[in-house]
A and B are shown apart, each in its own frame.
Chain A
């Protein structure tokens, strides 16, 4: 699909202007979503031009999490790039514009979180957004250090509150001139957004190239493409066969979070994790590797709140007064080998 020339030209101009701004570094601006929009669907079965590591041991994470790079330069992975002090352990599959990542970052400041997105422009947006947030934090930190408790340091906080309220309603609205209005950055946050990043990938094909066995503690699948037509159901990100790959990458005790606004998809999810349908409670196939987490437990889980409120889709559903269906599953230990 070729975008109309005018659109393309505007985007190019915007990007050029952006790099100019980045060069003078006087002002840090968040990217504007309108220059990065892309058709909501990508065919997961076609051969995209993708970069993916040969194996998890070949993945260069150092460029994604510079603050977590192992200070010892001789510690390198199989591809010869610097190792990190810890492994990535939280994944947002289909991270879209990155709302969940940014919401999770302060909640899990010690965990490395990665978003995966198949759409090029959307990924560019997330990357630019995280970069800008990190720079803002950097700036705030350097200005906050001299007088940490001074009123000056609190002022942005208030400003932040106001802006949040002001932008909550307009966040996704298509008002053309509004700068990207995610104002949650004007205060220092735990982790300074150094713990989040995003990569372009087709997770349906290449998930095992990025993550080793039992590497992950949390997987998020938020508002997945519902693929309404039955003919397209095989393109859904949740299926019996893909759930086996999630089980492989999740450590026992790890959690897989799902949220959708499509009731039918919610039942699809429950069915494919063995909570509903003919196999409910029978523990047949891959469903024996997961158990559903109770509602009481979810109420105490901040990640669920972020998933409901911080994602772009979540906000949109709230605006449209839609429903949100949450289901979280815990990875059980592998069963014994058959005798």
Chain B
């Protein structure tokens, strides 16, 4: 018996195509992106195509044996470092080669539903796809960023991608690659000087002087073969702002200048691992910091501004509470506890989303989706939560009927980010759908059994063997539940 799990959807997005009005669901699972028709759940495409021809041929109902070549799709050993050997502009990947990444941790969709932006983890690439007529994804560009992207947002009416990275910098890139080289202001600094910056006037110790002498010799030699310059990145990108800390979330928002004016002002909100939320002006003036929202005592992982109440921000992370802000003033409106005051268990907020009237909050490694209403004074009121059958990984809200489509982790035991389920269930659950009961006063959720969920679940994604080595299991744990690693621990005694 083949004991296999299915890769759960790490990201799931609902897409409404403005031109045709068609609804799609896209999800990333393992190294692939899947697209589905929202009404029927019919699978429309898988990217990358070349690596899964066998699977595309498989009938939707097969959940049995698995073609042997899929085994290779588990993440490459870390010591191979595929991202370093892979040039950014590699267009013709050999069809047999497994992709250079094992997960796709970020997906973003343009407001018009015509473009999808994805980040592939190990090779640090931002990939832009066009959604084709038939629903398949066609890659338009791949741009390798200097550091691994950790947050993506679209700005300027979808014309610009904002990308925050592990080192805290935020870059802007045109959605459609212009093919022009980068004109980043840092470029002149990268030009190699023809002599060391240190001189005998600035270094004095014996050791430093010795190494300076060596450098001088070294520089002399380099003049001869200075031709081998490392090419700087070949696409246009601009550094907008930076934190000296890992950037964890990034949103771009426009609000009216004042109540009487039609004019809007745009802002970029960025969160980092060192508890900060920074409010900067929009992309053209992102170097002007308007204020900070300071109130978290652990990393901030998720920012959310309801489109129907854009003056409020809900933020969460490694603290056992959420904060509601009037972000433009940097003022805390409310501290919302996530666990009992008495419990000292550590929680990490996985994500915060809004429906047309609710705020939904997922906790890392929890099958319960917390649900709040945002009152007119900006305070949040806890409502009945949604119980999924496994840990909530991501969710998306269907724009058509406000159904909440939840991506569920059927690999791990519900409530744990480490422990795998003993035996894979015969047909694993990938997504579940919920809607508000319409006939009750209170907020009550009911599961929906729609074509989309059953169809998506029965088609599956690609499979993971249940008999993986511990090391490989841990890699998948870390890929799905990375926020635990954001917590500061083992602070060494400084001296």
Q: Which residues on the A side are within 8 Å of B196 (C-beta)?
A: 228
A204: nearest chain-B partner, CB-CB: B244
B241 and A241 within 8 A (CB): yes
Q: Which residues on the B side are within 8 Å of A230 (C-beta)?
A: 190, 192
Binary flags per residue of A231-246, CB closer than 8 Å to B gives 1, else 0: 0011000011111110
Q: Which residues on the B side are within 8 Å of A209 (C-beta)?
A: 294
Cβ of B41 within 8 Å of any chain A Cβ, yes or no, is no
Q: Is the interface of B mostly helix, strand, loop or mixed?
A: loop
Determine the distance from Cα of A49 to Cα of B494 in the docked complex, in whole angstroms. 7
CB distance from A292 to the nearest CB of B (A): 17
A206: nearest chain-B partner, CB-CB: B274
Q: Which residues on the A side are within 8 Å of B169 (C-beta)?
A: 241
Q: Which residues on the B side are within 8 Å of A228 (C-beta)?
A: 196-198
CB distance from B353 to the nearest CB of A (A): 27
Q: Which residues on the B side are within 8 Å of A277 (C-beta)?
A: 188-189
Cβ of B185 within 8 Å of any chain A Cβ, yes or no, is yes
Cβ of B442 within 8 Å of any chain A Cβ, yes or no, is no
B215: nearest chain-A partner, CB-CB: A228
Q: Which residues on the B side are within 8 Å of A262 (C-beta)?
A: 197-199, 202
A3, A45, A278, A323: the one contacting B244 at CB < 8 Å is A45
Q: Which residues on the B side are within 8 Å of A152 (C-beta)?
A: none
Q: Which residues on the A side are within 8 Å of B276 (C-beta)?
A: 208
Cβ of B455 within 8 Å of any chain A Cβ, yes or no, is no
Q: A48-B494, A49-B491, A278-B187 are in contact. Are A338 and B292 (CB under 8 A)?
A: no
B201 and A205 within 8 A (CB): no
Determine the distance from Cα of A38 to Cα of B197 in the docked complex, in whole angstroms. 24
A55: nearest chain-B partner, CB-CB: B294
In chain B, positions 178-201 with a C-beta closer than 8 Å to chain A are: 185-190, 192-193, 196-199, 201
Interface size class of B (residues with CB under 8 A): 35 or more
Q: Which residues on the A side are within 8 Å of B491 (C-beta)?
A: 47-49
Determine the distance from Cα of A268 to Cα of B291 in the docked complex, in whole angstroms. 27
B287 and A289 within 8 A (CB): yes
Q: Which residues on the B side are within 8 Å of A334 (C-beta)?
A: 288
Q: Which residues on the A side are within 8 Å of B494 (C-beta)?
A: 42, 48-49, 120
A264 and B201 within 8 A (CB): no
CB distance from A108 to the nearest CB of B (A): 26
Q: Which residues on the B side are within 8 Å of A320 (C-beta)?
A: 201, 204
Q: A228-B197, A261-B201, A279-B185 are in contact. Are A54 and B495 (CB under 8 A)?
A: no
B289 and A247 within 8 A (CB): yes
CB distance from A333 to the nearest CB of B (A): 11
Determine the distance from Cα of A233 to Cα of B197 in the docked complex, in whole angstroms. 12
Cβ of A44 within 8 Å of any chain B Cβ, yes or no, is yes
Determine the distance from Cα of A208 to Cα of B284 in the docked complex, in whole angstroms. 22
CB distance from B254 to the nearest CB of A (A): 12
B198 and A245 within 8 A (CB): no
Determine the distance from Cα of A252 to Cα of B414 in the docked complex, in whole angstroms. 54
Cβ of B445 within 8 Å of any chain A Cβ, yes or no, is no
B244 and A242 within 8 A (CB): yes
Determine the distance from Cα of A131 to Cα of B276 in the docked complex, in whole angstroms. 33
B198 and A226 within 8 A (CB): yes
Q: Which residues on the A side are within 8 Å of B297 (C-beta)?
A: 54
Q: Which residues on the B side are within 8 Å of A1 (C-beta)?
A: 495
Cβ of A284 within 8 Å of any chain B Cβ, yes or no, is yes
Q: Which residues on the B side are within 8 Å of A213 (C-beta)?
A: 289, 291
Cβ of B281 within 8 Å of any chain A Cβ, yes or no, is yes
Q: A54-B297, A262-B202 are in contact. Are A268 and B244 (CB under 8 A)?
A: no
In chain B, positions 225-270 with a C-beta closer than 8 Å to chain A are: 239, 241-245, 257, 265
Q: A226-B198, A233-B189 are in contact. Are A247 and B288 (CB under 8 A)?
A: yes
CB distance from B331 to the nearest CB of A (A): 11
CB distance from B236 to the nearest CB of A (A): 15
Cβ of B78 within 8 Å of any chain A Cβ, yes or no, is no
A49, A263, A322: the one contacting B493 at CB < 8 Å is A49
In chain A, positions 299-339 with a C-beta closer than 8 Å to chain B are: 317, 320-323, 334-335, 337-338
B495 and A121 within 8 A (CB): yes
A261 and B202 within 8 A (CB): yes
Q: A54-B295, A338-B282 are in contact. Are A244 and B204 (CB under 8 A)?
A: no
B193 and A264 within 8 A (CB): yes
Cβ of A179 within 8 Å of any chain B Cβ, yes or no, is no
Cβ of A285 within 8 Å of any chain B Cβ, yes or no, is yes
Determine the distance from Cα of A239 to Cα of B185 in the docked complex, in whole angstroms. 11
B266: nearest chain-A partner, CB-CB: A338
Determine the distance from Cα of A171 to Cα of B187 in the docked complex, in whole angstroms. 42
Q: Which residues on the B side are within 8 Å of A193 (C-beta)?
A: none
Cβ of B47 within 8 Å of any chain A Cβ, yes or no, is no
CB distance from A27 to the nearest CB of B (A): 29
Q: A242-B244, A261-B201, A277-B188 are in contact. Are A338 and B284 (CB under 8 A)?
A: yes
Q: A264-B197, A279-B185 are in contact. Are A244 and B265 (CB under 8 A)?
A: no
A271 and B188 within 8 A (CB): yes
In chain B, positions 388-445 with a C-beta closer than 8 Å to chain A are: none
Determine the distance from Cα of A323 to Cα of B192 in the docked complex, in whole angstroms. 23
A55 and B201 within 8 A (CB): no
Q: A205-B274, A206-B274 are in contact. Are A241 and B288 (CB under 8 A)?
A: no
Cβ of B87 within 8 Å of any chain A Cβ, yes or no, is no
A278 and B188 within 8 A (CB): yes
Q: Which residues on the A side are within 8 Å of B284 (C-beta)?
A: 338
Determine the distance from Cα of A211 to Cα of B292 in the docked complex, in whole angstroms. 11
Cβ of A257 within 8 Å of any chain B Cβ, yes or no, is no
Cβ of B219 within 8 Å of any chain A Cβ, yes or no, is no
Determine the distance from Cα of A213 to Cα of B280 in the docked complex, in whole angstroms. 12
Q: Which residues on the B side are within 8 Å of A44 (C-beta)?
A: 244
The 10 A-B residue pairs whose C-beta atoms are closest, nearest first, are A241-B242, A264-B197, A55-B294, A286-B287, A248-B289, A322-B201, A204-B244, A244-B287, A49-B491, A47-B488
What 4 additional pairs, Cβ within 8 angstroms, besides A277-B188, A337-B285, A338-B285? A49-B494, A230-B190, A240-B287, A262-B199
A–B Cβ pairs within 8 angstroms, 5 of them: A226-B202, A240-B242, A247-B287, A289-B287, A337-B281
Report A's interface with B, CB cutoff 8 A: 1, 3, 38, 42, 44-45, 47-49, 54-55, 120-121, 204-206, 208-209, 213, 226, 228, 230, 233-234, 239-245, 247-248, 261-265, 268, 271, 277-279, 284-286, 288-289, 317, 320-323, 334-335, 337-338
Report B's interface with A, CB cutoff 8 A: 167-169, 185-190, 192-193, 196-199, 201-202, 204, 239, 241-245, 257, 265, 274, 276, 278, 280-282, 284-285, 287-289, 291-292, 294-295, 297, 488, 491-495
